[in-house]
Structure 1
Amino acid sequence: MRIKKFRGKTILEALNRVKEEFGEQAVILASEQIKTEEGTLFEITAAIEEEEIKIKRGHQVFKTYAEENYSELKEYLKREICEIKKMLNQVLNPQPENVNYLDLIEKGVPPFIAKELSKANPDLEEFVSKALKEKGTVPHSKYQVFIGDSGTGKTTSVFKLAAWYKYKYEAKVLVISLDNYKIGSHFQTKRLAELLEVDFEILDLEELKEIAIVFPKYNFILIDTPSLEKRLLISDLEELILKMPFLRFQWVVRATEHYEYILKQWERIEKFPVEGIVLTFVDKVYSSLPLLWILDSRIPPITFISNGERLPEDILKAEEEIIKKILFKSILNLNQKEVL
Structure 2
Amino acid sequence: MRPFAYKRVSDIASAIAEVSGDPGSEFLAGGTTEVDMLRLRVARPRRVVDINDLPIAAIEELGDGGLRIGGLARMSDVAAHPAVRERFPVVAQALEKGASAQLRNMATMSGNLMQRVRCSYFRDVHQPCNRRDPGTGCSAIGGFNRTHAVLGTSDHCVATHPSDVAVALTALDAVVHLQGPDGARTVGVDDFFPLPADTPEHEHPISHGELITAVEVPADTAARTSHYLKVCDRESYGFALAAAAVILRVEGGIVTEARIGLGGVATKPWRARRAEAHLTGAPARSEVFEDAASEEMAQAVPQSMNAFKITLAQRAMVRALSTVAAGQGGIA
Normalised by the length of structure 2, the TM-score is: 0.21
Larger Rg, first or second structure (1 or 2):
1
| TM-score, length-scaled by structure 1 | 0.20
Higher helix share: 1
